[in-house]
Amino acid sequence: MAKGILVGLLSVTLLALTACGGPSGVGIVRQPEKTVLVVVKKTPNQGFVVKSVRWEDSKAKKSTDAQVQTTTENGAKAVLNPKGYKTFGLLTEVPSGAGFTPDRLVISYQVEKGKKTKKMVVKKVAAAPTR
């Protein structure tokens, strides 16, 4: 991606993930490409296996699958396995032409393969303010 892209923080609310303090994330929009980088924080020895990512419109009850790439926390490099990282990124693109405007991103994940699938919900996904 082009260097010097303005990065703005979103107004993000994260649902409770686990009672014992599982991974958490915050969304960042990179303009003008309309890509979203969700920065996930976790303990370094904890795994993180993405099962699915969906863009949702909670009012219209519509959703669409999202393509996601696991990256470093700034989105600069691809990461094959986030185990060993305290923070890493999930890079995805805001869908256009889906027939609805998504207001949240739902990430289904496991901390290890074969373990219980959990959900992380990043709400109020919208364009970052311009300077």
CATH of the domain at 50: 2.60.40
pLDDT higher than threshold 90 for residue 74: no
Please give the residue that has the higher pLDDT: either 88 or 13: 88
Q: Looking at the 3D structure of the chain, how many domains does it have? A: 1
Q: Give the tokens for residue 106.
A: 């739902």
Rounded CA separation 67/115 (Å): 23
pLDDT at 119: 93
The answer to whether the CB of 32 falls within 8 A of the CB of 121 is no
Quickly count: other Cβ atoms within 10 Å of residue 56's Cβ: 20
User: Residue 29: what pLDDT?
Assistant: 61
User: Within a domain: residue 40?
Assistant: yes
Residue 128 resides in a domain: no
Largest interatomic CA distance in the chain: 45
47: amino acid identity, one letter: G
Q: Which residue has the tokens 């303005």?
A: 6
In-domain check, residue 1 = no
Mean pLDDT (the chain, rounded): 75
CA distance 2 to 16: 34
Residue 106: inside a domain: yes
Q: Is residue 129 part of a domain?
A: no
Residue 34 lies in a domain: yes
Looking at residue 28, its pLDDT comes to 66
Q: Is the pLDDT of residue 17 over 80?
A: no
pLDDT in tens, 90-125: 998 888 888 888 888 999 999 887 889 999 998 855
Query: Is the previous residue joined to 32 through a cis bond, with omega within 30 degrees of 0?
Result: yes
Give the 3-state secondary structure of residue 91. Answer: strand
Mean pLDDT of 51-59: 92
Q: pLDDT confidence of 52, banded at 50, 70, 90? A: very high
Structural domain including 35 reads 8-15+23-123
**Is 3 a domain residue?**
no
Would you say residue 128 has pLDDT above 50? no
